[in-house]
Structures are given as C-alpha cells and as structure tokens.
Structure 1
Amino acid sequence: MKVSREFFSRDTLVVAKELLGKILVREFDGKIIKGRIVETEAYIGPIDKACHAYGLKKTPKVEPLYGEPGIAYVYSIYGMYYCFNIITKEKGSPEGVLIRAIEPLEGLNIISENRFKDSYENITKAQKKNLANGPGKLCIAFNINKQNNWEDLIISDSLYVEESQKSYNEKFCDFDIVETTRIGIDYAEEARYFPWRFYIKDNNFISKK
C-alpha cells in the first residue's frame, strides 16, 4: 500500500524517522525495483543553514521545496550525482527529507547493472553493501535523476513509497533508530550539529555510523 500524502504532511523530523523501514519503489522500462529505506536526513528551511531554502530563500532551483508534501525534490551535486528528497510539512513551507541510504530488496540484478554494469551474482560482497549506501549511489541504483524532480509520489506509478512489509524479514519492522548529525554540511555553522540524521541501528546498508 502506498504511503499517503497525510503521512508526509506532518512534522519533518517525525516523517524522517518514520520513513525508516518503508519501501521505495521505482518502475521504469517495464522493470520494478524495491529497497528498504534505512537512512534519512531532515532539512527545515526556515531555521536550517544546511537547507537550500534557508531563511525562506526562493529560486527556480528550490521551488519544489515549497510544493505539496509528497513530491520529489531532485538536485545535482558536483555536476555528477543526484540527491533525492521528499517534501514534507505543508505547501509553502520549505522542508523535506533526504533519502540517504537504501537496502536493496527486489530487482537486484537491475540495481547492480545500474550501479556496476554487472549482474548481482558477479559483484563482490563489498559492492553489494555499497549498492545504495549514499544519496548519489542510490539515485544511480534506482535510476532517479532530474526528470523525477517535482514528481508526485502519491499519484506516480513510477516512483513512490510503500508501507513496510514483514514478508521480507521477520524483524523487518522491529528496529532501533539512531539519531545523529548530518553528513557533508560543515559550511552550515550551528546547523551542522543538529541531530537530524536518522538510521536503522546495526543495518549493513547505511552510509556511515
């Protein structure tokens, strides 16, 4: 079952934590891949110097941050990689959650081909752990790019979030959450110390402890 808009229309920190364990689904070219969300980061524009819309800044690039809860905000970094965020709270309030790491579940060969140009059975154990353990990596693995910017995950059939499913693992919904500081935002002054990164404790597919 798809996650509803009401889920995203709440406090951003709550959404960031409750996205953990949910399933990201990507369909393209008749293929379907799925992964468990295991790490997120919250960004809250009005007070967050790490957010692109800090102080309610408005530019064409950050317009999606002001959109409806549940839409995608995809932007490029270093001119090479993409980061995938989901807008939260309410329209007009620039807040969102960065999906930072995913545990691949279905379509492993497709994910592996996207990342390493090789089948899942041929890649190393280390490569399997590194399939989607970072925002840029997961966008490559799940074929998420600038074309997905503004995509509405509530109505889309190609990119959306599903509720957790215990069928993948008996302990699928039973985990502890680690709350810590975000990564790669040393420029953000006091905001670099905000404990707004969340991940599933002891999960092997997070980007960094």
Structure 2
Amino acid sequence: MVLGRAFFAHQWLRERFVRYRDSAGGFTGWVNARFRGCYSTLCHGRAGREIKALRFIIRHRHISIVGQPLSLDFYRRADVVRISQDLLGQYMFTRIGGQGLTGGRIVETEAYAGATDRASHAYGNRRTRRTAVMYEAGGVAYVYLCYGLHALFNIITSVEGIPHAVLIRALEPTHGIPVMLRRRCKARLDRTLTAGPGALTQALGITVRHSGQSLQGNEIWLEKGITIRPKQVVATTRIGVDYAGADAQRLWRFRVRAPCLDQLG
C-alpha cells in the first residue's frame, strides 16, 4: 500500500500517461491496452499487483515518453564526440504536416568536429549560405541534400561560432509507425524503415526547410531516453568521407550493438 500512496502523490505519472494517450490519438494494440490496465492498477492502489504493473511499465518505458525536450545545455557542450555518443538511446520525435507524432530511439550517429575536421562542411571555417546555420549555438537542426536527393538531419552542437555537428543516421522506430510506413511507401515494418540518414528523414517527414529550426520547438525535438552502456556501442569510421585524408580514419561513427531494428525482417 505504501507504493500505491507514492504513485497517488506523484501526479506526473498520470499526466504523462494522458499526454501519451492524447498524442497517440487513443489506444490501439495489445501493448497500449495492457499499459492502460497497468496504469489503472497503479492509480487505484491495488497493492498486490503494483509491482507487476511497475515492471511492465519499466520494460515498455518508451510507450509513456512524450514529455520535455532535452535542454540546450545538453547540446552546447564542447566535446562533439561525447555528445554523439550521448545521443544514442535518446528519443527523437517529429510532428509534421498534421500527420501526428512520429519518432524513435537514436541508435546510430556520426560526429563532425567543424573547422579542424576535413570531413566537415565547415572545415577551415568555410562558411556558405547553406552552412551558416552550423555557426549558431547548439540545439538547432542542420538539414542538407545529399546528391540532390536525400535530406540528411544533423544536430548543431557547442557554442555560437564553433561549427560542430552530429549526423543522426538511424532510429529504432517506436511512435507513429503507420505514418512512417506511408511516408516510406512500405507495406510492412522491417529494419530499413529508419535505418540510414535518408530513410530516417523521409520517415519522419524532415526536409531542408527544417534546417535552422530550433530543437526546442513543436515540429522536431529530442527527449531523454535510456542510458546505453559503453559495451553496447560499436565505434567505426564514418561513411562516405574517403576524401578527408587522415580524418577519414577517425572512429567517430557510433552504433548501438544489435538494436531492436536489427531483429526485424
């Protein structure tokens, strides 16, 4: 009964549940139905079932996410490589074009260290109309076209004037999967839905018009996710930067070992 009183005392649990329910447009599927039952158990203080309910919610904790964005302090640290690693496990969401909430957990990133990194668009403090956003304070989006076809989504980090960026390469999809399938013209969920930076932006509805947009807004934002232990992370060289000489050999691509999307079709 003590646990029940604790949950009654913390209204945030109910509020987060309601936020998720409203953002999802109601409940569908066995997971959401069971989550609703577990929530009812917690709120009505049935002590004998509370531990089991709590375990279920922890196991499926991504279901109740949709809260506050990551703070600007998270993005404005000096070490872009560390930020790239810390982004693994965080949630990335979009609400674009009136199609509802879409998003998932970040499972692959690449770090780009600006003026000193030959693989960066800002190497040597190069500044163009397209890359001007890279010199803004961290916490904004940098989106550009690759080969004139695929929009690639980057997060600007560090303080104003330091053009550091992290490319988001892959997500483990958790929210709005039917919408993402439509955007990707796919009939069923498989590992390619949000794997690869071009597929990711297409699934989330991100285009170059979002470049320069704050990640504290209502269209694109990140939220606190789960902690990824170092042994779960694979570090490799970045993709498509052979022109960068010695910088091409830097192990600045980070991937979660065997994320759930690897288990899909």
TM-score interval (norm. to shorter): 0.7 to 0.9
8 Å Cα contact 1:25-1:159 kept in structure 2: yes
Cα pair distance change 1:60/1:93, threshold 3 Å = same
Partner of 1:196: 252
What amino acid sits opposite 1:89 in the alignment? S
Deviation at 1:94, TM superposition (A): 0.7
Deviation at 1:139, TM superposition (A): 0.6
- Percent of aligned pairs sharing the same letter: 36
Partner of 2:20: none
8 Å Cα contact 1:46-1:56 kept in structure 2: yes
Query: What does 1:115-154 correspond to in 2, within 5 Å?
Result: 115-116=184-185, 118=186, 122-123=187-188, 128-154=190-216
Partner of 1:59: 128
Of structures 1 and 2, the one with the larger relative CO (CA 8 A, separation 6+) is 1
Displaced runs of 4 or more, over 4 A: none
Q: What secondary structure, in the 3-state scheme, does the structure 2 residue paired with 1:36 have?
A: strand
Distance in structure 2 (CA, Å) of the matches to 1:205 and 1:112: 14
Distance in structure 1 (CA, Å) of the matches to 2:227 and 2:158: 24
| Greater Cα offset, 25-34 or 81-90 | 25-34
Q: Pick the aligned partner of 2:88 from 14, 20, 32.
A: 20
Q: What secondary structure, in the 3-state scheme, does the structure 2 residue paired with 1:84 have?
A: strand
1:48 matches 2:117: yes
Partner of 2:167: 98
Partner of 1:89: 158
Distance in structure 2 (CA, Å) of the matches to 1:83 and 1:53: 16
Aligned residues: 191
What amino acid sits opposite 2:198 in the alignment? G
8 Å Cα contact 2:88-2:228 kept in structure 1: no
1:20-52 CA-partner distances (Å, limit 9, x unpaired):
000001002151112110000000112111100
Distance in structure 1 (CA, Å) of the matches to 2:207 and 2:180: 15
Q: Flag the structure with larger Rg.
A: 2
What amino acid sits opposite 1:19 in the alignment? L
Which blocks of at least 5 consecutive residues in structure 1 are unaligned?
Answer: 165-171
Q: What secondary structure, in the 3-state scheme, does the structure 1 residue paired with 2:120 have?
A: coil
What amino acid sits opposite 2:255 in the alignment? Y
8 Å Cα contact 1:71-1:150 kept in structure 2: yes
Partner of 2:71: 4
1:74-117 CA-partner distances (Å, limit 9, x unpaired):
0001111110000001110011100011111011100100112x
Partner of 2:177: 108
Q: What secondary structure, in the 3-state scheme, does the structure 2 residue paired with 1:7 have?
A: helix
Partner of 1:160: 221
What amino acid sits opposite 1:82 in the alignment? A
Distance in structure 1 (CA, Å) of the matches to 2:228 and 2:222: 19
Which blocks of at least 5 consecutive residues in structure 2 are unaligned?
Answer: 1-67
8 Å Cα contact 1:38-1:205 kept in structure 2: no
Cα pair distance change 1:66/1:174, threshold 3 Å = closer
Q: What secondary structure, in the 3-state scheme, does the structure 2 residue paired with 1:161 have?
A: strand
Partner of 1:182: 238
| Greater Cα offset, 10-19 or 26-35 | 26-35
Q: With structure 2 as the length reference, what TM-score do the two structures score?
A: 0.69
CA RMSD of aligned residues (A): 1.4
Higher helix share: 2
